[in-house]
A and B are shown apart, each in its own frame.
Chain A
Amino acid sequence: MSDFPAEVKYLPTHEWARLEEDGSVTVGISDHAQNALGDVVYVELPEQDQQISAGDEAGVVESVKAASDIYSPVSGTVAAINPALEDEPEKVNQDPFGEGWFFRVEPNDIGELEDMLDAEAYQEACEEEDH
């Protein structure tokens, strides 16, 4: 059974976003998503300082099985990317909401987070997708 922590928001495309104390937004993929992908072997991340818009392709996560696009939940400037994923992409499987984070955005408008799903709605969406 997958984890659906309530302190982050979700996109139907399985990204999560967390508003940090410094005002930045951290992005990763959900536990449900890493389960479905299986062993993650490569993550392509956006460039530092890149401008991205909500809904834009911001990277790719590849498991042994398949490649999957990553979309940014918010618009803004890429403030950081997770350097650990270069050599340890398996962190996405091991700790999807923690050490397996993808990138951090300096958001233009944190109101965009309101458009995302809460844990309950996202979990329902996942269950529908599975059936």
Chain B
Amino acid sequence: MSSQTPLQTPLYEQHLLAGGKMVDFAGWSMPVNYGSQIEEHLAVRTTAGMFDVSHMTVIDVTGEGAKPFLQRLLANDVDKLVLYGALYSAMLNQHGGVIDDLIVYQMPTGYRCVVNASTRDKVLAWFNQHAKSDTKYSNVQYVEQDLAMIAIQGPLALSKLSEIEAIAGIDALKPFSALMHNDWLIGRTGYTGEDGVEIILPGDQSVHLWARLVAIGVLPAGLGARDTLRLEAGLNLYGQDLDEETSPLASNIGWTIAWQPQQRVFIGREAIEPQRGKCPMKLTGLMMRDKGILRHGQKVITQAGAGVITSGTYSPTLEYSIALARIPKAASGKCQVDIRGKLKTVDIVKPPFVRNGKILVA
């Protein structure tokens, strides 16, 4: 993939206009920042910012077998969904490792899955493999959609959007639910720990919407700020905090697994059910008041055994470093992290670190 020319979203020219520093990300040319990642981060925490997330893969799943198909492939249960509801779920392999984490919307004609750009190929391959596994899925259709996606996030996100577009019902929209506004699917979802929406819409319309939001002062924010915001919010990143080798129970997303009804045999259930309540590892937070930055891959030493940092960064809100780490379940209080051969003392804390502009760790 790296040898190919990176793909461009419909907003590519807008990024260049805004001074975006473009980097290759999962086969796409995306803005990592437009100058200062920290400013972009703080804009989302205090006012509003927006992200082009059109690189994410939108797959519509339809046909009579769509529901049992997703009930087999997803660890969460799409039976919980009402029309235009959104559900977060892991997709597991037979060994209980995580193939992807995704959002599923209930649509009038089926389901819309939003999956990671980095996992697109293997998710589609997984769909192909399992659609053939049982005749009851024979009429399932899953079609990748050529759509753009803009996430508007921050305490002023909804009021800013309403300044430029009258959207019936937007103020009453509950978290993890969506509405249709002409061609736009607007979900009250996000990846920042702030209020906001994610809008899935046709590419040509996305350019106009983006330009109108820029004109009223919504700050474009890049992948860099997206990463520090999600980490402060304690949200996992696929490929770092979640992977095919690790159980979802060791990744702090046990709450997204629908164990009931017992007879729903989703892929991976047999592998992870025996670990239920007994998983020896947990994914939790670390924070370091001392100078230095915690990073992915650094070794963690606790009184209950060793662990590893899965994601680490500088927190612009807290002004010191934070991390997610996979450590023994029994570990608590303080532990140590090996940073380039020096042991630094850090605090074990339960994420999120920051939500809705408020610091939640002391």
- A residues within 8 Å of B by Cβ? 35, 38-39, 41-42, 44, 60, 62, 64-65, 67, 86
Contact = CB atoms under 8 A, between A and B. Distances in A.
For the residues of B in contact with A, the DSSP-based class is mixed
B32 A62 contact: no
Contacts of A38: 21, 32-33, 36-37, 224
10 contacts: A38-B32, A38-B36, A39-B38, A41-B293, A42-B292, A60-B340, A64-B224, A65-B32, A65-B37, A67-B295
Contact of A64 (B21, B291, B316): B316
A72 B153 CA distance: 43
B62 to A, nearest CB: 40
Interface residues of B, number: 16
B295 A42 contact: no
Interface of B: 21, 32-33, 36-38, 224, 228, 291-293, 295, 313-314, 316, 340
Contacts of B33: 38
A44 B293 CA distance: 11
Contacts of A64: 37-38, 224, 228, 313-314, 316
A39 B36 CA distance: 6
Contacts of A60: 340
B292 A62 contact: yes
Nearest 7 pairs of A and B residues by beta carbon = A41-B314, A62-B293, A39-B38, A64-B314, A64-B37, A39-B37, A38-B37
A44 B36 contact: no
A119 B163 CA distance: 49
